[in-house]
Amino acid sequence: MWIDTHCHLDAGEFDDDRAAVVTRARAAGVNQVVIPAVSVQNFDTVRALAHEHGFAYALGIHPLYVMQASQEDLVALDQALTAHRDDPRLVAIGEIGLDFFVKSLDPARQQHFYLEQIKLARRHELPVILHVRRSADQLLGGLRRVGLTTGGIGHAFNGSRQQADAFLALGFKLGFGGTVTFERSLQIRRLAAELPAEALVTETDAPDIPPQWLYKTAQERAAGASMRNEPAELPRIGATLATLRGWTVEEAARITRANAQAALPRLKALGHDHTAASQDDAAVGHGGAAGAL
């Protein structure tokens, strides 16, 4: 049994076959999936999907979406966190963070939304799911400044060992996904192999970050080939992690599952339950997630 700690199940890429994607995930042994929001516009969608499929969700404003977000969106996030505080499937604030790779995103504006959201995490006593892209030190600085003690997950972690250790010291786990399956990902594979066992959680970031076996060349993509990732790929990614660690696949599943439950404690109560949604949660819209999130 695996936990996919990061899957954008609401993305448009899944509109044609979302139910089949979920069926394949469960058949592959992925019995829990965390669906992070990216903007106020998809809060209702991720919540409804989590209830429909027995999964978990997070609410937050993604750094790639801060340019179109407003101050009122932070108020709306606060209100949504209050409204759904007793929803056991609401497990974190996310996906939030900083992206200093994409040059069109104003750094000051990103910092503002990041700091305000980790203050909300402190006030609502929820862990956070962090987008880390050339921003590990600034993310760490914000966590220290706000004094966030609830921890969470550094998703698709790609920093240094020193930065990894700093996140661990603040109570975070680090997310590993498709990138570890590429032999050229030397730094990430070294981290996956050498970090303490309790540091690691698994994720797909589906439909993004395809593992090596789904990778297509630019030429193949131009000819129409898809490299859409999906949560059913998680056990094979986990098997790669097991190889890097010298674990059995069963050990990898058990350890990463316990780590995910430690990072997002509300996952524990969800257990193996996957009862269907209550009727009023059944309406699911289309939340688009453009680009690698």
**Footprint of Zn ion on this chain (CB under 5 A)?**
95, 293
Considering the complex, what minimum distance in angstroms separates the CB of residue 166 from Zn ion? 21
Closest CA to 277 of 68, 73, 57: 57
Smallest gap from residue 36 Cβ to Zn ion (A)? 6
Q: How many CB atoms lie within 10 A of CB 195?
A: 19
Cβ atoms of 151 and 172 closer than 8 Å: yes
Task: Give which of 20, 8, 108, 15 is closest to 50, Cα–Cα.
Answer: 8
- Element holding 93 (H helix, E strand): strand 90-99
Residue 243 Cβ, how far from Zn ion at the closest point, in Å?
25
Residues 32, 50: Cα–Cα separation, whole Å: 10
Of the pair 164, 289, the CB lying nearest Zn ion is at 289
Residue 246 C-beta: closest distance to Zn ion, Å: 29
Nearest position to Zn ion, beta carbon: 293
- C-alpha angle 3/50/44, rounded to 5°? 140
Q: Quick one: 204 exposed, middle or buried, by C-beta within 10 A (0-12, 13-18, 19+)?
A: buried
User: Which position has the token pair 């101050």?
Assistant: 71
**Shortest Cβ 57–Zn ion spacing (Å):** 13
Residue nearer to Zn ion on the CB measure, 90 or 293? 293
Place of tokens 């979406």: 65
In whole angstroms, the minimum distance from the beta carbon of 18 to Zn ion comes to 17
Q: How far apart are CA 200 and CA 172, in angstroms?
A: 10
Q: How far is 174 from 191, CA to CA, in rounded Å?
A: 10
Of the two residues 191 and 293, which places its CB atom closer to Zn ion in the complex? 293
Cα 166 to the center of its chain, rounded Å: 19
Q: How far is the CB of 13 from Zn ion (least distance, A)?
A: 13
Q: Is the Cβ of residue 132 or residue 242 nearer to Zn ion in the bound state?
A: 132
In angstroms, the CA 237 to CA 257 distance is: 14
Nearer of residues 6 and 257 to Zn ion, judged by Cβ: 6
Select 4 or 95, whichever has its Cβ closest to Zn ion.
Answer: 95
Q: Which is nearer to Zn ion, 200 or 242 (CB)?
A: 200
